[in-house]
Structure 1
Amino acid sequence: MADEMLSAGTLPQIGGTRMCSIHARGNCLDPVIAAVTAGRRYRHVVGFENGESSRAIKDALFNNDRRTGWYPLREWGWDRARCVDFIARVTSRQWTKSACGFCPFAMRTDSGRQAVVGERRIGVDGVTRQVLRERGEQLPALEHFFVVCPAVVEDKARPGFEAWWQEATNDAVLF
């Protein structure tokens, strides 16, 4: 999605057709659902929380003779806080609202902005990083950060970079 927006010179949409949802969900899920269900009837379980009735109503418009949407979190009365607490209790991990680092919907609240913007740190290597997600002790071991560097045409490689790069990308590490 980011590549598409950069090449088209566009920004994430707040209104109209939400291409991010189509790319991140529809384009991924539709072929899998079609293959798994092979034309049979199925119940599509969707995790809309209790406060998302408008999204559930909109999603139900896609129900047809084969697909029936089901929204158990709404049935159970679970809001976002209850879901986050449950995930933390079961997995010992905090779950962020959006995996997208430029989602305008995630930026609506203070906690959302903190999750998207993250925290700026200077590492022991002297490199400044904008940390969005840190690698945890458990799987999935995912980290997400941006490295700050000068916007000039100077050599940006720090002393020892070539050795670090070789160590990180040698065949024994990669394969």
Structure 2
Amino acid sequence: MITTPRATPYAQAAQRARVIAETALDRFAGPGTIQVLVRISGLLEAAALFLDDEQPGPYVSVPVEATEALWKADTLAEEHPDTRFPEGFTNYVLHALTGRPLPFPAPLHPVSDRMVLREIDLRNRLSQLHADTEQQAARPDEWLRAVLTTWQKHMRLATEVRVDNARPCNQS
């Protein structure tokens, strides 16, 4: 019986960084945001290279260079919300190594019933994806793309909720 070696946590983290980098380059955005997405993608690719070079040892450690690249990518996304990456999105990369909690959206508190239902649907979808360890293991790239798509939809909804809640007819 031939067995296929399992990818190391470092290889898994590197692959997650690459998937997010690809996602950044695939996003449709205005020229200013595209430039930021290209920078985020480059930082994620750099982190992936540093993670690929790391050899598993008795203790899990994240290379300083990878940590710095991921931190810069997170910071850029926070400074440019039009990238539609959630705060702490690089925890999806580090989760394979550190078990850090995966990001989850804060409640939006929409006034409109239609938006309440959309928020519930997206939060439930994200909860299901986070809990689906089988898909994470069997089809990690597909799983991560689904997570990022759900986040992107949630962040679009957050913008819509801010506008809708600010309408005079929705003020208490």
User: Do the two structures share a fold, i.e. TM-score over 0.5?
Assistant: no
Q: TM-score, normalised by structure 2?
A: 0.27
User: Computing the radius of gyration over CA atoms, which structure comes out larger, 1 or 2?
Assistant: 1
- The higher relative CO (CA closer than 8 Å, separation ≥ 6) is in 2
Greater percentage in helix: 2
Using structure 1 for the length normalisation, give the TM-score. 0.26
